Amino acid sequence: MLNISENTILDKVDPNQYRSFRRTSLPRANLMFKRWLLVTLGIILVMLFLPWTQNIQTKGKVTTLRPDQRPQTIHATIGGRVEEWYVREGERVKAGDTIVFLSEIKTEYFDPNLVGRTGSQVTATEGSLKSYGGKVAALEDQIVAMQQELGFKKQQLQNKVRQGRLKITSDSIELVRAKIDLETAQNQYLRAKEMYDKGLTSLTSFEQRNLKVQETAAKKIEAENKWLISRNEYDNARLELSTVQNEYANKIAKAQSDKFSTISDRFDTESKLNKLKVDQANYQLRSGFYYITAPQDCYITQAIVAGVGETVKEGAPVVSIMPAEAQLAVEMYVRPIDLPLVSIGNEVNFIFDGWPAFVFSGWPNLTFGTYEGKVVAIDNNIGANSTYRILVAPDEAVKPWPAALRPGGGAQCVALLNDVPVWYELWRQLNGFPPDFYRDTNLPTNIDKKPTN
């Protein structure tokens, strides 16, 4: 029956009494299917307008927030041979506890009294340095004494030169007087001869005048000799003055040369002393490197150099440790296309390996067993796997992370983005569009991005 008219006869006629009604009526199952289909379509239509939280899902692993809290290895500062282990793997040690003892393998450090002998060399060199200082002072005193002696000698010789000059003057006067006396005696001799030739005087008087001339000539020669001697003495005094000046100049120059040589030797000794002190300090520090100690409170994870008697090279790893106190974080990797959607302070949900959880990616409020964190650092350079590393710290105000969590564990990361209707998310996924970009204006702006490792 097509039910074209709104008037019905079902209230006047019992349809069960007629076969035609039973053959033309709709089955009850069809009516139920119709109703179920309409209800389902209504539910789907309602769900299309429900809110959906866009997200970025990626893999990550547990690490630590601070670099000094991450697993690390302790290296041997010096080369040596393993003599004794003081710890076992898995044991917790405190900062400064001895882990392993190394013995010396280099021949230049075999002497057990190396530090003491080097200290003796330092003491001896210090004494030598003091001796050089005393020698320099003595040479300086010697130079001063020679300069004073030179002054006295110069003064003495200058007086001698002045005396010679005065003596030359005196002898020259005597020579002039002798010449005058000789000239007078000669004139008197000529007059006496003339008078003797005329017979006016006696031979005796004439001979006396002749004798007087001879005596005066001798005195003249004597005065001339004395004058020449005075001149020679004067010249000798001047020459001696020059000689003394040159002699003392050479002596002073030699003393100064010795002084500067001593100063140079003192500097060489001082350099040697400093080198010995450096060697002594290095030997003392090296003796402290025989014992490898824990840099902080940590757990011994693995002995890289096993056994006793093995040798390790300088700078080689000896044991790996894990800091006892560490602030955990998760490093996750996102594709370059998703990097602009992540910013400092974004919320990220985690599913840690070993902790069960029920996840509804679009409805984080219905998710159970996940843990939350906040983005604290973003690398500025792409990594070797063509992704960007993001560091996420726990959000303790919401839910603390498991106490049994250890660095190196895996994590499934879900970075929450914008809230959109379900129909929009389906449309975006079908068209391959990226999630919507948004920025929360309430996020802190004074957090810098983490620099590239």
For the chain, give the longest Cα–Cα distance.
Answer: 232
Q: Residue 283 falls within a domain, yes or no?
A: yes
Could you tell me if residue 311 is inside a domain? yes
Q: Do 259 and 121 lie in a common domain?
A: yes
Over the range 440-451, which residues count as b (16 or more CB within 10 Å of their CB) and which as e? Answer: eeeeeeeeeeee
d(Cα 385, Cα 333) in Å, to the nearest integer? 9
Of the candidates 288, 312, 343, which is a domain's last residue?
Answer: 288
Q: Are residues 86 and 198 in the same domain?
A: no
- Give the pLDDT of residue 54: 65
Domain count of the fold of the chain? 4
Alpha carbon 384 to chain centroid, angstroms: 30
Residue 394 lies in a domain: yes
Residues 6+ apart with CB under 8 A from 43: none
The pLDDT assigned to 93 comes to: 93
The reply to whether 383 and 434 lie within a common domain is: yes
DSSP designation for 442: T
Would you say 301 and 93 are in contact if contact means Cβ atoms under 8 Å apart?
A: no
Query: Can you give the residue range of the structural domain that contains 23?
Result: 1-48
What pLDDT score was predicted for residue 106?
Answer: 86
Structural domain contains residue 318? yes
Residue 298 C-alpha from the chain's centroid: 28
> Could you tell me if 242 and 182 lie in one domain?
yes
If asked whether residues 231 and 317 sit together in one domain, one would say no
**Number of Cα atoms under 13 Å in the Cβ half of residue 372:** 14
Is residue 109 in a domain? no
pLDDT < 50 regions, the chain? 1, 437-453
CA–centroid distance for 358 within its chain: 53
Asked, for residue 364, whether it belongs to a domain, the answer is yes
Residues 127 and 211 in one domain: yes
301 in the same domain as 162? no
pLDDT of residue 171: 78
Same domain, 223 and 78: no
Same domain, 274 and 125: yes
pLDDT at 448: 42
Residues 4 and 92 in one domain: no
Q: In this structure, are 9 and 145 located in the same domain?
A: no
Q: Rg of the chain's alpha carbons, rounded to an integer?
A: 61
